[in-house]
Amino acid sequence: MAETTNFHVEHLFRLKGYVCLVTGGGTGIGLMATQALSANGAKVYITGRRTEVLEKTAATHHPKEQNAKTDQHGDIVPIGSTDVRSKDDLDKLCKEIESKEGYLSLVVAAAGVPGPKEPQPDVQDAKEYKKQMWEAESSEEWNETFNSDVTSVYWTTLACLPLLQAAPKDHLSSVIVISSMSGMMRDSQSHFAYNAAKAATAHLTKMMSKEFAKFGVRINSIAPGYFPSEMTMKQSDDRNKTDMPDEKVKEKEHPVPAQRSGTDEEMGMAVIFLSKCAYVNGHILPVDGGVLNEVGQ
Tell me whether residue 20 is in a domain. yes
Average pLDDT, the chain: 92
Interval 163-210: pLDDT, tens: 999 999 999 999 999 999 999 999 888 899 999 999 999 999 999 999
Partner residues linked to 284 by β-bridges: 221
Among 65-79, 99-113, 195-209, which is the least confidently predicted range? 65-79
288 occurs within a structural domain = yes
41 phi, psi to nearest 5 deg: 110, -10
- Assess if residue 126 is contained within a domain: no
| Residues with catalytic roles | 179, 194, 198
Higher pLDDT, 95 or 247: 95
C-alpha to C-alpha distances, 154 to 6, 84, 186, 242, nearest whole angstrom: 36, 10, 24, 28
Share of residues in the chain with pLDDT > 90 (%): 79
Report how far apart, in Å, the C-alpha atoms of 90 and of each of 95, 122, 152 are: 9, 44, 9
Residue 270's domain spans which residues?
Answer: 9-115+149-295
Asked if the structure places residue 46 within a domain, the reply is yes
Whether pLDDT at 118 is above 90? no
Average pLDDT, stretch 67-73? 62
List phi, psi (to 5°) of 45.
-85, 130
Q: Is residue 135 part of a domain?
A: no
In a domain, 222, yes or no: yes
1 located within any domain: no
Residue 82 confidence (pLDDT) above 70: yes
Res. 67: pLDDT tops 80: no
Q: Provide the edge-to-edge strand list for the sheet that holds 19-23.
A: 75-81, 43-48, 19-23, 106-109, 174-178, 218-224, 284-287
CATH number for the domain harbouring residue 185: 3.40.50.720
Residue 175 lies in a domain: yes
The answer to whether 141 and 115 are in contact (CB under 8 A) is yes
Is the pTM higher than 0.75? The answer reads yes
Domain count, the chain: 1
Distance CA 18, CA 180 (A): 26
Amino acid at 198: K
